[in-house]
Structure 1
Amino acid sequence: MKKTILTSVVLCMVLVSVAQNPIIKHIFTADPSPIVYKDTLFLYTGHDTASVTATNYKMPDWHVFSTTDMVNWKDHGALLSPATFSWATGDAYAAQCIERNGKFYWFVSTFHKKDSNSNGGAAIGVAVSDRPTGPFKDAIGKALITNEMTKDKPHAWDDIDPTVFIDDDKQAYLYWGNGSCKWVKLKENMIETEGPITVTEVKNFIEGPWLYKRKGLYYLVYAGRGTKPEMIEYATSNSPTGPWNYQGIIQENVPNSFTTHPGIIDYKGKSYFFYHNGSLPTGGSYRRSVCVDYMYYNADGTIQKIIQTVEGVKPVSK
């Protein structure tokens, strides 16, 4: 009996030691956004603080984490919140940070106060810093995108989940949306739009877009399927503005959460797929946790199905 108990204890210790996912365990995190800067991977996330019985989100701020080996993560704290923006109210929804010309631009989605500039509804703002870990401040003193700028959907929360991409020709693009996928060019200063906002046709698109380029092919990865729980699907194009060729589902439903959100990055010779689920103790759809697994491509550039694991990824050299 003692031998059986000892074996069970050792087995549990082994399982815990290899159970990397979720990668952040001391708080609930969501909507991962990775970037690489000077040999370090920085991960920007939302922060879920809703109660166990809550039926809606409570997300007071955004956190930044960093790693140089993909297994040990440093929490730099809550470095931005809707309170940073004088025009904002409500929760800290999905966001993405990107570096350009030595500055870091953190595009965020939250809600706009009812004032002379807006009747409310979801809005996208941008914060700026000289460092990936801040301090960040409101870059323009107003929202970059307001609900009044987009009229294709009747609901007030269609302007969320920004993703930003800078092409090889230095042109920057902002994609976002809930229920429809919208895009607009950004000026080089990253705080002004250039040209009209366009609604683009993307099959099964719901929310959470992630735009990037690989070997001359553009990828638009997003939460889709039109029903909950969400799955991650993607489309490809020969242009950053489409038209988009639907490629299918790459991530099935995640455990214990009806949302999921992609964040994709190449780091030290590997491709990584970040997402969130509700697998931590007391976790759920409003108490989510960020995970990471490997991402692989076929020879023709299509993405292989993401294999969700508890083990996560292996350490890489510093």
Structure 2
Amino acid sequence: MKSRYLFLILLMCMLVQWTWAQNPILKNSDSNFLYVADPAAEVYNGKVYVYCSHDVDTAVNYSAMQDYVVLESEDMLNWTNHGVVIKPREYSWANGQMNAPDVAYKDAWYYFYFPYNKTQIGVAKSRTPIGPWEEAVTDKITTIFDPTVFIDDDGQAYIYGSDTKMNIGDKGRHVMGAKLKDNMLELDGPWHRLSEETVAEAVHCFKRDGKYYFMGRKGWRTSYWMADSPLPTEKYAVFKGYITKNQIDAPTHMSAIEFKDQWYFFYQRGDVNDGTFYRRSACYEKMEFNADGSIKPIEFTLDKGVIVNEPVTPIKH
């Protein structure tokens, strides 16, 4: 009898591990496979939507990034790939390299924030999470690298990023933040430096138990800061350290969501799907917290049978 119970327990553990192993989200064996990167995850109407930049199959740098893909799931196990849903270069005012996007919802509109020419931020809007998307502006609303938008419980919206590749604050690269007006299309005041430490790119913000978390790429790892307000201007957000290993197959880019009482960490990697530093694939892991609110280290996982590419040498983004 004991052996039977032991067998059942082992079987259940194997099934849990098997059903959880999902990475990468899209696999190159899929009929509609695309290389998707910079995953910005959001929860709308009881579903998860992941807004991704798009690496073309022949990419040898990032200059070919020009459109965006949406992934959707009701259970974090089965994913719908909606393919390319927005092509900002069809707008007369948007051109050049288009990096990491983000989407925010307010007053019955979904707002799609995308960079063009690397750091100029344009906006499209839609009545649904997947489009169709239409121009919300006819020019950039601001300049920042890797924009992310957060709406607080009181309805106030904020935009974050890093001052990489520009000079809008103190010398160096830092976590930057600013208020957005109610129309979601204009800044409501200046940019503020939020971190004492430097950060390369990929800033993301979320809120948990009244605390504000700011993630970013520092070196080749994901680091994070914590603060008591969404725009800490009297003192910098507190640097809490690193939560991922050194990642050299792709620049670290992340987002985090809570879905059905579980937190998830989304990221990208270039060592799967016959990918490279410039042909990346979106992945995700469960994210856990310590009693003091700090984030536990995150381990990267893969589906059984996924072939991992040879290590690559990191290249300047």
TM-score, normalization by structure 2: 0.80
Task: Summarize the alignment of residues 48-127 of structure 1 with structure 2, pairs less than 5 Å apart.
Answer: 48-49=55-56, 51=58, 54-111=60-117, 122-127=119-124
Residues matched between the structures, number: 271
Provide the C-alpha distance between the structure 2 equivalents of 1:279 and 1:301, rounded to a whole number of angstroms: 31
Counterpart amino acid of residue 76 in structure 1: H
Q: Which residue of 2 aligns with 1:9?
A: none
Q: Which residue of 2 aligns with 1:24?
A: 26
Q: Which moved more, 1:298-307 or 1:193-202?
A: 193-202
3-state SS, counterpart of residue 83 of structure 1? helix
Contact 1:107–1:124 under 8 Å retained in 2: yes
> Match for 2:252 among 234, 257, 260?
260
3-state SS, counterpart of residue 190 of structure 2? strand
- Higher relative contact order, chain-length normalized (CA < 8 Å, sep 6+): 1
Provide the C-alpha distance between the structure 1 equivalents of 2:96 and 2:114, rounded to a whole number of angstroms: 12
Contact 1:110–1:160 under 8 Å retained in 2: no
Task: Summarize the alignment of residues 27-38 of structure 1 with structure 2, pairs less than 5 Å apart.
Answer: 27-38=34-45
CA distance change for structure 1 residues 161 and 202 in 2, over 3 Å: closer, same or farther?
Answer: farther
Contact 1:84–1:138 under 8 Å retained in 2: no
> Match for 1:164 among 141, 146, 149?
149
Q: Which residue of 2 aligns with 1:296?
A: 288
- Cα deviation code 1:50-98 (max 9, x no counterpart): 526x244421210011001111111112111231432111122101001
CA distance change for structure 1 residues 281 and 131 in 2, over 3 Å: closer, same or farther?
Answer: closer
Contact 1:255–1:279 under 8 Å retained in 2: no
Counterpart amino acid of residue 278 in structure 1: G
Provide the C-alpha distance between the structure 2 equivalents of 1:98 and 1:290, rounded to a whole number of angstroms: 20
Contact 2:149–2:160 under 8 Å retained in 1: yes
Task: Say yes or no: does 1:204 pair with 2:203.
Answer: no
Provide the C-alpha distance between the structure 1 equivalents of 2:262 and 2:83, rounded to a whole number of angstroms: 27
CA distance change for structure 1 residues 39 and 56 in 2, over 3 Å: closer, same or farther?
Answer: closer
Provide the C-alpha distance between the structure 2 equivalents of 1:264 and 1:201, rounded to a whole number of angstroms: 19
Provide the C-alpha distance between the structure 2 equivalents of 1:260 and 1:50, rounded to a whole number of angstroms: 20
Provide the C-alpha distance between the structure 2 equivalents of 1:18 and 1:235, rounded to a whole number of angstroms: 28
> Match for 1:240 among 227, 230, 233?
230
Counterpart amino acid of residue 51 in structure 1: T
Provide the C-alpha distance between the structure 2 equivalents of 1:85 and 1:305, rounded to a whole number of angstroms: 41
Counterpart amino acid of residue 60 in structure 1: Q
- Cα deviation code 1:98-138 (max 9, x no counterpart): 11121101111121xxxxxxxxx620111111110111112
- Structure 1: which 4+ aligned runs deviate by more than 4 Å? 15-19
Counterpart amino acid of residue 173 in structure 1: Y
Tell me by how many angstroms 1:264 deviates. 0.4
Provide the C-alpha distance between the structure 1 equivalents of 2:66 and 2:272, rounded to a whole number of angstroms: 20
Q: Which residue of 1 aligns with 2:207?
A: 213
Tell me by how many angstroms 1:175 deviates. 0.5
Contact 1:23–1:291 under 8 Å retained in 2: yes
Unaligned segments of structure 2, at least 5 residues? 1-16, 28-32, 165-172, 305-317
Percent of aligned pairs with the same amino acid = 35
Tell me by how many angstroms 1:19 deviates. 5.2
Unaligned segments of structure 1, at least 5 residues? 1-14, 112-120, 147-158, 313-318
Task: Say yes or no: does 1:134 pair with 2:131.
Answer: yes
CA distance change for structure 1 residues 17 and 165 in 2, over 3 Å: closer, same or farther?
Answer: closer
TM-score, normalization by structure 1: 0.80
Q: Which residue of 2 aligns with 1:144?
A: 141
Provide the C-alpha distance between the structure 2 equivalents of 1:85 and 1:184, rounded to a whole number of angstroms: 26
Q: Which residue of 2 aligns with 1:114?
A: none
Provide the C-alpha distance between the structure 1 equivalents of 2:87 and 2:18, rounded to a whole number of angstroms: 33
